[in-house]
Amino acid sequence: MLFSNMLTGLAFLAAGTTLATDLAQHVDVLKGTQNGGNDFPGAARPFGMVKSGPDLLLPGTDAYAGYLSDGEFSGFSLMHEQGTGGAPKYGTVSQLPLMCHVDDPLSNITVPRAKTDSDSVGYYQAHTAEGVEVELSASTRAGIYRYTFPQGSDEVKNVLVDISHVLPSSRGQELGQRYEGGNLSVFADGHYEGHGICNNGRNEAPNWAIFFCGYFESNATSNKTFVAVGADPSVEQTDRSVTLNAETKRIGAHSTFNTEEVLSRVGISWISSEQACRKVNKEIPQGTTFAAVVDEAKAEWSDKVLSKIKTTSTNEKSLSLLYTSLDFMHLIPTNSTGENPGWHSAGPYYQDIFTFCDLFRCRTALMQVLQPAAYEEQIRSLVDIWRHDGYLPDARSSNYNGRTQGGSNADNILADAYVNGVRGAVNYEGAYQAMVKDAEVVPSNIPSTIWHQTRPTHQGRGALPDWLELGYITPKFSWAISGAVEFAANDFGLFEVAAGLGKEPDAAKYLNRSRNWRNHWNPKQSSLGGYWGDPYYEANSWVYSWADVHDMKYIVTLMGGSETVVRRLDTMFTEGAKGSSGTIFDAANKSMFNIPYLYNYVGHPELSVRQSRQVAKHTFSTGPKGLPGNSDAAGAMQTWLLWNMIGLGVPVNGKVWTKSWLTWEDVFAEGGLFEFRLGAQPIQWATGELPPSPASE
Ligand SMILES: *[C@@H]1O[C@H](CO)[C@@H](O)[C@H](O)[C@H]1NC(C)=O
Ligand SMILES: *[C@@H]1O[C@H](CO)[C@@H](O)[C@H](O)[C@H]1NC(C)=O
Ligand SMILES: *[C@@H]1O[C@H](CO)[C@@H](O)[C@H](O)[C@H]1NC(C)=O
Ligand SMILES: *[C@@H]1O[C@H](CO)[C@@H](O)[C@H](O)[C@H]1NC(C)=O
Ligand SMILES: *[C@@H]1O[C@H](CO)[C@@H](O)[C@H](O)[C@H]1NC(C)=O
Ligand SMILES: *[C@@H]1O[C@H](CO)[C@@H](O)[C@H](O)[C@H]1NC(C)=O
Ligand SMILES: *[C@@H]1O[C@H](CO)[C@@H](O)[C@H](O)[C@H]1NC(C)=O
């Protein structure tokens, strides 16, 4: 597929190359944190389990990644998601610095902000209205806090540890996280260990436990633990170890200091507090300076992520868009290898997948190009999750698969990985069995609290009974049409892997099934159709009629030929065509990502270039409001922009290229060279074969 080009002279570099310039300076960490982007601005490492950042409380507003530009601090916690919609997740394992005597530490204390927070790659800084400076940095499984209390103050200097701290939700969809208990011990040397149990959030997860182990580098003058008991809201000070029992509601501790600077190191684990202690003592050993952790974080981002793409551009806006997008696409999934609490496995374990429904469109392909080693681990982890947990995930977090939005889109990802040559230790026989499970076995219906779903949404394909029996989906199931076009694409994924593994009968069966989207085609449809309400998820019939590109030639025929297709695509980008201001095409809807590129299928690459450049230039910008919608989540939005900025072009490997598309082998498999020459006038240069439509006879 052809992509337009915004930066010139841009090239992929070999792994490990360091650049003289500090690429991290171009990363705008607060980009996309407002306007619904829900980006996480705090301190983290690439794919790190710890994402340390502020948690803001503003009644009526959900803080998806903890951060809000407004509100009061409820804590500074080690776990966050990046860029999700739906409802907040995590905000767990927190500390909050407090001046003054605290009578009831478990009363949802918040502290106003003194001034705007500031940050850079691997570093976050905030100031509370009580005059405390809070600085955060992180290794992969531990965080470091530096508190600077106001000089000469006689007020008591406390750090509060509230085990019940989570990010709340006020959206009224019953997706809010709940704290269910835990335990906490403070030891003679002042360090603390324990775990908290929570549930719910974006993926409607059952109870999960997170373990922690925290150290203070200054000696406390006192430390106290607290429990809130039963229906009686009063808080009692206890002996040093507390465990939740049926009557206990909440647990917390605070340590009091008389030094102006207090450093704290805290590790986390899904397995045990001993493992959390091992991680923090290995990654941030006692005596490590705060600055050393920040420097290491910056160096890791530069070496492992930012230096992967180089450009000769000196335009600061382009540089900021490029390196900021690269940064945000590497925050999740989190590498939780060795931390899967449900089973023992030597294999890699990645979670915080948000969400394959969004990511298969352009994020996973770019991850393979930029991070082949990590991507091979991510693919193996999917197969391991199916093997031990029963199904492939679509949006796994807190060790729970849920929840799906359309098809079983891990199938598309495994198929892409197979076709594009991800090999290493991936077991494709296992991967294929996992895909067959999605395609053939109806998942059990775990009731969802939202949207009055009439099909299972936890994993697999909820509307499968109709698909298997009828070859289409009736309105008995929610989101019937958007589900059907995705199931067809998923089945095409099964065809590709079955064909590659020599399973001919299966390949024929799934290729046939991949055409079942056609059963939903209504030649008389003339209006836009519904939005969000049934039968379309997050878009309408205009959008979903373009979804099954594996059968594009047939789509072109159904639509009445190439010229009608061009007119219809043009309509998607025509201001006012939807009857109100704006265009039908909306870059905030991931289901539309492919639409600007479809002109290539009717021999008009120059129109794809025009539309995609237009969208990239006018809907993305720098700054906190720079994203047109949810990042979704591990950078679906950012990678759409990156592919546009990178631009893939002609000639290829020095040869004249007349096709507006490429295969993996053409340039990526062994490395290769694109030379993109951009002229002042659009030209229709693609005279060669059109992009393939394997499902169209
Ligand atoms: C604290 O916040 C939780 C969750 O938002 C709420 O259920 C609880 O009532 C609050 N407690 C107090 C003492 O305000
Ligand atoms: C903190 O708590 C531990 C565990 O009970 C205790 O041994 C230690 O003396 C306490 N430190 C102070 C300063 O009170
Ligand atoms: C903390 O207390 C221990 C034991 O009393 C002492 O050895 C150590 O030097 C103290 N550390 C600091 C930073 O004051
Ligand atoms: C806290 O919970 C862990 C895990 O269940 C358990 O091993 C430990 O004994 C508990 N600690 C206390 C003080 O109850
Ligand atoms: C993921 O984590 C494991 C365990 O810490 C580590 O061995 C592996 O190298 C990590 N993968 C990447 C891509 O960093
Ligand atoms: C393809 O599907 C149609 C119905 O959708 C069915 O009649 C036909 O037998 C199938 N062919 C194969 C090869 O499975
Ligand atoms: C795209 O999604 C946004 C919300 O993310 C919504 O406001 C808009 O109406 C959607 N556009 C279409 C054409 O469905």
Q: What is the CATH number of the domain that holds 170?
A: 2.70.98.10
Please report whether residue 615 resides in a domain: no
Atom of ligand 1 nearest to the CA of 179: 4
Which helix (DSSP H) or strand (DSSP E) does residue 242 occupy?
strand 241-243
pLDDT in tens, 375-405: 999 999 999 999 999 999 999 999 999 888 8
Region of residue 70 (phi > 0: left; psi between -120 and 50: alpha; otherwise: beta): beta
Question: Longest C-alpha distance within the chain, in Å?
Answer: 81
Q: Do residues 114 and 205 share a domain?
A: yes
Question: In which band, very low, low, confident or very high, does the pLDDT at 6 lie, cut at 50, 70 and 90?
Answer: very low
pLDDT at residue 533 in the model: 67
pLDDT at residue 482 in the model: 93
Which helix (DSSP H) or strand (DSSP E) does residue 637 occupy?
helix 636-646
Write a three-state SS string for 534-584: CCCCCCCHHHHCCCCHHHHHHHHHHHCCHHHHHHHHHHHCCCCCCCCCCCC
The predicted model gives 131-157 an average pLDDT of: 95
pLDDT at residue 681 in the model: 84
Please report whether residue 261 resides in a domain: yes
Number of domains in the chain: 2
pLDDT at residue 122 in the model: 97
Mutation probe of ligand 4 site: the residue of 184, 213, 243, 269 with most atoms within 8 A of C-beta: 243
Q: Is a pLDDT exceeding 50 seen at residue 659?
A: yes
Atom of ligand 2 nearest to the CA of 219: 13
Q: Do residues 376 and 516 share a domain?
A: yes
Q: How many CA atoms lie within 13 A of 439 on its CB side?
A: 25
pLDDT at residue 239 in the model: 65
Q: How far apart (Å, rounded) are the C-alpha atoms in residues 281 and 265?
A: 9
Q: Do residues 52 and 194 share a domain?
A: yes
Task: Tell me how far the alpha carbon of residue 426 is from its chain's centroid.
Answer: 23
Q: Do residues 71 and 146 share a domain?
A: yes
List the helix and strand counts (H, then E) for the chain.
17, 21
Question: In which band, very low, low, confident or very high, does the pLDDT at 3 lie, cut at 50, 70 and 90?
Answer: very low
Q: How far is the CA of 310 from the centre of ligand 5 (A)?
A: 25
Please report whether residue 643 resides in a domain: no
pLDDT in tens, 407-462: 999 999 999 999 999 999 999 999 999 999 999 999 988 777 665 567 888 899 99
- The DSSP output letter for 259 is S
Q: Do residues 218 and 356 share a domain?
A: no
Higher pLDDT, 641 or 336: 336
Mutation probe of ligand 1 site: the residue of 108, 163, 165, 234 with most atoms within 8 A of C-beta: 108
Q: Is a pLDDT exceeding 80 seen at residue 283?
A: yes
The domain containing residue 398 runs over which residues? 346-360+370-537
| Cβ–ligand 4 contact at 185 (below 6 Å) | yes
Q: How many CA atoms lie within 13 A of 319 on its CB side?
A: 15
Out of 16-30, 142-156, 218-232, least confident range:
16-30
Of 288, 306, 327, the residue at which a domain comes to its end is 288
Q: Which residues line ligand 1 (CB under 6 A)?
A: 107-108, 168
Out of 113-127, 133-147, 431-445, 536-550, least confident range:
536-550
Please report whether residue 234 resides in a domain: yes
Q: How far is the CA of 109 from the centre of ligand 1 (A)?
A: 10
Partners of 192 in beta bridges: 186, 214
Q: Is a pLDDT exceeding 70 seen at residue 247?
A: no
Please report whether residue 325 resides in a domain: no
| End-to-end Cα separation, the chain, in angstroms | 21
Atom of ligand 7 nearest to the CA of 539: 14
Q: Do residues 353 and 266 share a domain?
A: no
Q: Do residues 383 and 520 share a domain?
A: yes
Q: How far is the CA of 667 from the centre of ligand 5 (A)?
A: 28
Q: Do residues 400 and 265 share a domain?
A: no
Question: In which band, very low, low, confident or very high, does the pLDDT at 14 lie, cut at 50, 70 and 90?
Answer: very low
The predicted model gives 179-189 an average pLDDT of: 90
Atom of ligand 4 nearest to the CA of 242: 13
Mutation probe of ligand 7 site: the residue of 38, 574, 589 with most atoms within 8 A of C-beta: 589
- The DSSP output letter for 183 is E
pLDDT at residue 562 in the model: 97
Q: Do residues 428 and 519 share a domain?
A: yes
Please report whether residue 253 resides in a domain: yes
pLDDT in tens, 501-523: 999 999 999 999 999 999 999 98
> Which ligand is nearest the CA of 106, by number?
1
Q: How far is the CA of 457 from the centre of ligand 7 (A)?
A: 21
Q: How far is the CA of 183 from the centre of ligand 4 (A)?
A: 6
Higher pLDDT, 600 or 537: 600
pLDDT at residue 20 in the model: 40
Question: In which band, very low, low, confident or very high, does the pLDDT at 685 lie, cut at 50, 70 and 90?
Answer: confident
- Compute the mean pLDDT over every residue in the chain, rounded to the nearest whole number: 90
Q: Do residues 183 and 94 share a domain?
A: yes
